[in-house]
Amino acid sequence: MTPINISLLVFMIGLYGVTSKNNLIKKIMGLTIMNGSIVLFFISIGFRETGLAPILEKGTTSGISTTILVDPLPQALMLTAIVIGISVTALALALVVKIYAKYKTLDIQQLSKER
Amino acid sequence: MGSSKIIRTIAQKIFPFIVLFGFYLISNGHLSPGGGFQGGVVLGTAIILLALSHSIEQTEKKFKSRWLNMLEKLGILTLIFLGFLGILLGYSFLSNFLPLGKPGQIASSGLMLFFNIAIGIKVAAGVSVIFYALVRYRGEI
Amino acid sequence: MSIHIPILIIISPLLAAFLVLFTRKHKIILATVSIIASIVFTLTLSSQVLSGDKIIYHLGGWRGPIGISLVVDGLSFFFSLITLGLGLLVIIYSIPERRYGRTYYFLLLISLSSMIGVIYTADIFNMYVFYELLSLAVYLLIAYPKTGVTLRASFNYLIMGGVGLSFFLLGVGFLYAMTGTLDIFHIAERLPAAFNSSTRMVLMSIVLIVTGMGIKIAVFPLHGWLPDAHSMAPSPVSALLSGVTVKIGIYCLIRVVYTVFSTEIFLLIGSHNILMVLGVVSLLFGASMALAQKDLKRLLAYSTINQLGIVLIGLGIGTELGLTGALFHVLNHAIMKSTLFFCAGIMIAETGTREVQGLNGFSRQQPVITFAFVIASLGMIGIPPINGFASKWLICLAAVEAGYTFLVVIILTASAIAAAYYFRVIQVLFSGPLKQDPMHAHEGGQVIHGGNLFRSWPIYILAAACLLLGLIPTLGISLVKPAVSLLLFHVVP
């Protein structure tokens, strides 16, 4: 099992949660799990065994070849993706609060019956 | 209000250090792990700590949410303005027009430091505004 | 200054969006001026782009596979023109509504600015970020009236859209793993080599990206969010959603399919057949579901699924004629559907009901608006002097030329069904007595006066555009031509 396969598995778990759970909060959890799996996926793309963190220390400004560093780009991308994921989750939860205040239920089956 | 004297005192004493650490993260973001976002969140948590250990009202007197709201928008406007400065000075948008210093020093990344500061202020204000909004929410659930 | 135009087009609405939050009185002027500025900036690029040039702008001066660049070529120019033009009309249409505060204009400007971002950026991750920003703004716009149905519609869209963009991002991850870059044009250069060594990863990424965008475009099995979201949103937002936001998904699909995976790989895998099948299914499904609707805006929403099916068929045929027809139909659908939603907004406000049956005698109250509605719906059906006919005709020609004669039969069948449901609405509009007490009305609580200048002029302009493009279709086709030649022959390096 490589990390990439594991992340795809987690992605599927998240997708299962989104599609087959009736509770709105659980759907949001599924979305968050999908987001997390994508983070894992990108990080494992950039991973390099025995690679160093891509930070230049004070003394070692020269002499480090970039081949022994892990790829920093996916990490930077994932910071952005995490922030976006959090804002989507926050918006979804805010909507759920409003929906609950209106309908007094979180079950999507009952919600779809309401007019 | 509800918290004990120990918590109130310690929170007060620790507050300047958290703020200092936040500014350190912001201003050192181009050299070490950290940066505007992370530092901004640390600054925001300093305000949250005060609000939790003392009362919300007391904290709001010091850090008015109107001003924090304003600061948040000013942060992003500063960022866009700095980007425009690149265009006005004949470079492209968001490009660096300051001299690059020696690697490893604070003044070594040109505009990056100012971007970090703008983002830091925006995030700090944003985090505390979100906290105020959550605390004040009295909607029926 | 002139080389900075691509970024200025994006920044102008973005800057205005944050400035709007500071003012109370000048929000509308600020919004309108910023969009007009963007349109003027875009038009200054027109001569360069239409002659086949490609304008590349490097953000922060970083080039090549590392930096993010903005690219204005035939395709992105075409889509940005639709977006900005309709965006301006949507802002004008929302002026009379007093309920819309600063936040509304802020969200509108943010969504328009990020749409232009999605269209211009050449960095595929940046495209994702802009798309997510756009989606966040749109979810909030749908939920703006804060009634129960809008909240539910917005939540549905959020969940579906979140899943779709997750698929897209995973596909981007596969692309990055194979090619080591995120710049669209560099990926396109490096992909053929990757295709030979790891075919399955290329397949995986294409499947993920097409599925993700399929959710955003609402092709048949993934359409669940669209009818609710498009029908429950406030009318100007509905026009924006149906006219523009869905088109952004189509833009991403075209960009990724024809530029990133070059046409050769695409044909080799045989995915064009999949697009065609999806198109046919959503065409028939949208048409037959629209037939069953009683709610006017819901009918229009299902009609969107129907028309997008035609666009997908055109894309799936993939010949020069097919692509021309598909892109032309994107333009036509944007114009016609926003006309219809604008009209529907006025109808609902005047009669106080969303039911088709409640529109009795509307033609006597508002003859000009009714006329515009009739023009646009005839265009949707595809009656000759209106623009919808021209693009449908092109797609049918392309289908015959490429040997898919059965597609013509299907498109004609769907048009017949479309005729059935649009004529039902038109019949109601012209029949029956004037309503005795026109309940002045609701789209959520406040009185709207339908005869307003700001409400009617956008409709007149759009209806005139329908007739103009129908009478002189070469006008639209010349706009589409650079995009098609770019996609098929890569004339621009």
Give the per-residue pLDDT at C443: 45
Of A28, A38, A102, the CB nearest to C170: A38
- Between A35 and B97, residue with greater pLDDT: A35
Model confidence pLDDT, tens digit, residues C42-63:
999 888 888 878 888 888 777 7
* Beta carbons within 8 Å of C142's beta carbon, 6+ residues apart: C150, C153, C154, C157, C229, C232, C233, C237, C241
Task: Read off the pLDDT of residues A74-99 as tens digits, 9 standing for 90 and up.
Answer: 888 998 999 999 999 999 999 999 89
Sign of the Cα torsion C9, C15, C21, C23 reads: negative
Let me know if residue C70 belongs to a domain.
no
Is residue C444 predicted with pLDDT exceeding 80?
no
Taking an 8 Å cut-off on Cβ atoms, the answer to whether A99 and C129 are in contact is no
State the pLDDT confidence band at C181, using cuts at 50, 70 and 90.
confident
Residue type, C444: G
Per residue in B41-93, pLDDT (tens digit) is 999 999 999 888 888 888 888 888 888 888 988 998 998 888 888 888 877 77
Residue C367 inside a domain? The answer is yes
Model confidence pLDDT, tens digit, residues C142-169: 999 888 889 999 999 999 999 999 999 9
* pLDDT score recorded for residue C490: 64
- Taking only Cα atoms into account, the Rg of chain A, rounded to an integer number of angstroms, comes to 20
pLDDT at C377 over 50: yes
Is the distance from CB of A37 to CB of A29 less than 8 angstroms? no
The helix (H) or strand (E) run that includes residue C313 is helix C296-317
Does the predicted TM-score (pTM) go above 0.90?
Answer: yes
Pick the closest to residue B127 from B87, B72, B80, B56 (CA basis).
B72
pLDDT band at C434 (very low <50, low <70, confident <90, very high): low
**Which has more confidence, A50 or C182?**
C182
Residue C437 has pLDDT above 80, yes or no: no
Buried b (16+ CB within 10 A) or exposed e, B57-66: eebbeebebe
Q: Taking CB atoms and an 8 Å limit, are B104 and A61 in contact across chains?
A: yes
Distance of alpha carbon C252 from alpha carbon C174, whole angstroms? 17
- The overall average pLDDT reported for chain A is 85
Residues 6+ apart with CB under 8 A from C449: C96, C349
List subunits contacting chain A, requiring 3 or more Cβ pairs under 8 Å: B, C
Q: How far apart are CA C345 and CA C356, in angstroms?
A: 13
Q: Which two three-digit tokens encode residue C154? A: 């917005």
Nearest to C27, CA basis, from C36, C18, C37: C18
Question: Of the candidates C457, C310, C470, which has an alpha carbon nearest to the alpha carbon of residue C392?
Answer: C310
Selected residues 71-100 of chain A with any CB under 8 Å from a CB in chain B: 79, 83, 97, 100
pLDDT at residue C241 in the model: 92
Are C209 and C172 contacting, i.e. CB atoms less than 8 angstroms apart? Answer: yes
Do the beta carbons of residue C1 and residue C20 sit within 8 Å?
no
* Contact between chains at B73 and C57 (C-beta distance less than 8 A): no
CA B45 to chain centre: 10
Contact C159 A92 (CB under 8 A): yes
**Residue C301, domain member (yes or no):** yes
The model's confidence at residue A62, banded by pLDDT at 50, 70 and 90, is: low
- How distant is the Cα of B89 from the closest Cα of chain C, in angstroms? 10
Q: What is residue C193's predicted lDDT score, i.e. its pLDDT?
A: 83
Please tell me the distance from the alpha carbon of residue B115 to that of residue C372, in angstroms, as a whole number: 50
pLDDT, tens digit (0-9, with 9 covering 90-100), for C125-145: 999 999 999 999 999 999 998
* Average pLDDT of the residues of chain C: 86
| pLDDT exceeds cutoff 80 at C253 | yes
Q: How far is C10 from chain B (nearest CA, A)?
A: 11
Which residue, C280, C308, C276, is CA-closest to C410?
A: C280
How many Cβ atoms sit within 10 Å of the Cβ of residue C190?
A: 17
Regarding beta strands C69-72 and C55-58, do their DSSP bridges make them parallel or antiparallel, or are they unpaired? antiparallel
Pick from A56, A61, A100: CB nearest B141: A100
Please check whether residue C58 touches B, CB under 8 A.
Answer: yes
The partner residues of C72 in beta bridges, in order of sequence, read C55
The mean-pLDDT minimum among A34-38, A108-112, C34-38 falls in A108-112
Does C486 fall in a domain?
yes
Determine the residue type at A104.
K
**What's the whole-number mean pLDDT along residues A51-78?**
72
pLDDT confidence band for C442 (50 / 70 / 90): very low
Tell me the chain C residues in contact with residue A114 when contact means C-beta distances shorter than 8 Å. Answer: 148
User: Which residue among C14, C22, C61 sits closest to B92, beta carbon to beta carbon?
Assistant: C61
CA distance C166 to C128: 9
pLDDT of residue B45: 93
C-alpha atoms less than 13 angstroms from C-alpha of C385 in its C-beta half-sphere: 6
List CB contacts (< 8 A) between B86 and chain C.
60
Stretch C342-367: mean pLDDT = 83
Dist CA A66 CA A63 (whole Å) = 9
Nearest to C59 among B77, B84, B94 (CB): B94
- Domains by residue range for chain A, with CATH: 3-47+71-113 (1.10.287.3510)
* pLDDT surpasses 70 at A66: no
Mean pLDDT of C374-382: 90
The token pair that represents C89 in the structure block: 């009309």
Q: What is the pLDDT of residue B139?
A: 65
- Give whole-number Cα distances, B141 to A102, B130, C159, C448, in Å: 9, 19, 22, 33
3-state DSSP assignment of residue C469? helix
CB C144 within 8 A of CB C190: no
At how many degrees (to 10) do helices A24-46 and A72-103 cross? Answer: 180
Question: In this structure, are residues C232 and C302 in contact, taking their beta carbons and an 8 Å threshold?
Answer: no
Q: A14: distance to nearest CA of chain B, Å?
A: 27
**What integer pLDDT is reported at residue A33 of this predicted model?**
94
pLDDT at C451 over 80: no
Instruction: Tell me which chain B residue has its CA closest to the CA of residue A83.
Output: B37
- What's the ipTM? 0.93
> What's the gap in Å between the CA of A101 and the closest CA on chain B?
5
Using DSSP's 3-state secondary structure scheme, residue C291 falls into helix
In a domain, residue C305? The reply is yes
pLDDT at C64 over 90: no
pLDDT at A61 (0 to 100):
55
**Record: contact A103-C154, CB cut-off 8 A:** no
Q: Which two tokens stand for residue C193?
A: 């080599």
Q: What pLDDT sits at residue C331?
A: 93
Terminal C-alpha separation, chain B: 25
Q: C70 and C7 in contact (C-beta within 8 Å)?
A: yes
* Rounded CA separation C87/C13 (Å): 11
CB–CB of B48/B11 below 8 Å?
A: no
Based on the number of CB atoms within 10 Å of its own CB, is B17 exposed (0-12), middle (13-18) or buried (19 or more)?
Answer: exposed
Q: What is the pLDDT of residue C220?
A: 84
Q: What percent of chain C has pLDDT over 70?
A: 95
Residue C137 CA, distance from chain mean position: 16
Q: What angle do CA C470, C475, C479 make, to 5 degrees?
A: 125
Looking at per-residue confidence, does C464 or C438 come out higher?
C464
Rg (CA), chain C: 22
Q: What is the C-alpha separation between C401 and C391, in angstroms, rounded?
A: 15
Q: Rounded to a whole number, what is the distance in Å from the CA of B33 to chain A's nearest CA?
A: 8
Asked if residue C485 is part of any domain, the answer here is yes
One-letter amino acid for residue A93 of the chain: L
Interface mutation vs chain C, best among A12, A18, A88, most C CBs within 10 Å: A88
Residue type for C77, please?
F
Q: What is the largest CA-CA distance in chain B?
A: 58
In chain C the first and final C-alpha atoms are separated, in Å, by 25
- In a domain? residue C94: no
Hey, is the C-beta of C173 within 8 angstroms of any chain A C-beta?
A: yes
Residues with Cβ within 8 Å of C452's Cβ and at least 6 positions away in sequence, in order, are C96
Residue A60 pLDDT class (50, 70, 90 cuts): low
* Distance of alpha carbon C357 from alpha carbon C366, whole angstroms: 17
What confidence category does residue C447 fall into, taking pLDDT thresholds of 50, 70 and 90? very low
Angle made by CA atoms C99, C102, C108, in degrees to the nearest 5: 95
What HEC string does chain B produce? CCCCHHHHHHHHHHHHHHHHHHHHHHHCCCCCCCCHHHHHHHHHHHHHHHHHHCCHHHHHHHCCHHHHHHHHHHHHHHHHHHHHHHHHCCCCCCCCCCCCCCCCCHHHCCCHHHHHHHHHHHHHHHHHHHHHHHHHCCCCC
d(CA C342, CA C356): 15
Q: Could B141 and A97 be called an inter-chain contact, meaning their C-beta atoms sit closer than 8 Å?
A: yes
Which chain B residue has its CA at the smallest distance from A99's CA? Answer: B141
Whether residue A68 is predicted with pLDDT greater than 90 in this model: the reply is no
CB atoms within 10 A of CB B128: 26
User: Does residue C258 fall inside a structural domain?
Assistant: no
The encoded tokens of residue C135 equal 């989606």
* Full 3-state SS string of B73-87: HHHHHHHHHHHHHHH
Q: Would you place residue C450 in the very low, low, confident or very high pLDDT band (cuts 50, 70, 90)?
A: very low
Task: Determine the average pLDDT of the residues in C315-341.
Answer: 90
Nearest to A101 among B37, B103, B141 (CB): B141
Is A11 in Cβ contact with C159 (below 8 Å)? no
